[in-house]
């Protein structure tokens, strides 16, 4: 087909669609019913491509569509919550826990509770670890590792005493292993010297 014939063909169908809009709508409706899976797959691909090319415009269009059909969306959401009550409650509880745990107030509260619990049950903890044949030294090291995981303690990259960076930085319990978080950071060599001069 030549370009001139293609243009004439397009012009003819453009005029046909203007003269017979109802017939065109009915034909499109029958096609969508007959090939529903194909039409939905094509729409998903087109929507994904449009979202990737125009992210900001897509957000604006979705917002405008929601405000245009807000009552419909609210009815659908209410209907879904009634038919999926258990799943909705589970998601709400999960969201509430995530929101609570991400707040600074919750972290401060947990820190106060853990600190209070530690000093309240300190003697029991020490006795428990002794019964389980775990030395006080291993328990103190575990407390330091837990504090590093919680970001309460940060291991430096160099030794504060000799400024060495090629040795592993270790925690030195200069007040004794019964005070697990009272530490200073030393490299392996300085740590050995500290234990030799001031044995714990």
pLDDT tens digit sequence for 78-89? 999 999 999 999
Q: Does residue 187 belong to any structural domain of this protein?
A: yes
How many domains would you assign to the chain? Answer: 1
Bridge partners, 186 (sequence order): 170
Question: Is residue 104, in this structure, part of any structural domain at all?
Answer: no
48 contact partners, CB below 8 Å, separation of at least 6: none
CA 178 to chain centre: 37
Residue 80 falls inside a structural domain: no
| Residue at 48 is within a domain | no
DSSP labels, 61-73: HHHHHHHHTHHHH
How would you classify the pairing of strands 184-187 and 169-172? Answer: antiparallel
Within-domain flag for 130: no
Q: Could you tell me the two tokens for 118?
A: 């530690």
pLDDT tens across 2-20, in order? Answer: 888 888 888 888 888 888 8
pLDDT tens, residue order, the chain (200 aa): 688 888 888 888 888 888 888 998 999 899 989 999 999 999 999 989 999 999 999 989 989 999 999 999 999 999 999 999 999 999 888 888 877 777 787 788 888 888 888 788 888 777 776 655 457 788 888 888 888 888 888 888 888 888 888 888 888 888 877 788 888 899 888 888 887 754 44
Per-residue confidence (pLDDT) for residue 52, from 0 to 100? 92
Q: Residue 79 falls within a domain, yes or no?
A: no
Domain that holds residue 146: 135-200
Amino acid 78: pLDDT:
92
Query: Which residues are registered as beta bridge partners of 185?
Result: 171
Domain assignment present for residue 93? The answer is no
Task: Let me know if residue 82 belongs to a domain.
Answer: no
> Which pair of structure tokens corresponds to residue 127?
């006795």
Both tokens assigned to 83: 């038919």
């Amino acid at each position: 087909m030549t370009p001139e014939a293609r243009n004439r063909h397009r012009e003819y169908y453009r005029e046909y669609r203007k003269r017979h809009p109802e017939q065109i709508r009915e034909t499109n409706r029958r096609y969508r019913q007959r090939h529903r899976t194909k039409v939905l797959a094509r729409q998903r691909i087109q929507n994904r491509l449009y979202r990737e090319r125009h992210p900001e415009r897509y957000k604006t269009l979705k917002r405008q569509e929601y405000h245009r059909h807000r009552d419909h969306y609210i009815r659908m959401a209410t209907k879904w919550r009634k038919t999926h009550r258990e799943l909705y409650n589970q998601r709400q509880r999960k969201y509430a826990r995530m929101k609570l745990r991400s707040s600074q107030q919750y972290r401060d509260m947990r820190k106060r509770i853990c600190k209070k619990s530690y000093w309240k049950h300190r003697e029991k903890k020490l006795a428990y670890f002794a019964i389980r044949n775990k030395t006080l030294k291993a328990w103190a090291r575990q407390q330091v590792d837990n504090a590093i995981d919680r970001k309460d303690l940060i291991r430096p990259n160099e030794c504060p005493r000799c400024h060495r960076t090629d040795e592993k930085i270790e925690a030195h319990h200069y007040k004794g292993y019964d005070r697990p978080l009272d530490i200073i950071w030393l490299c392996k060599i300085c740590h050995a010297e500290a234990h030799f001069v001031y044995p714990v």
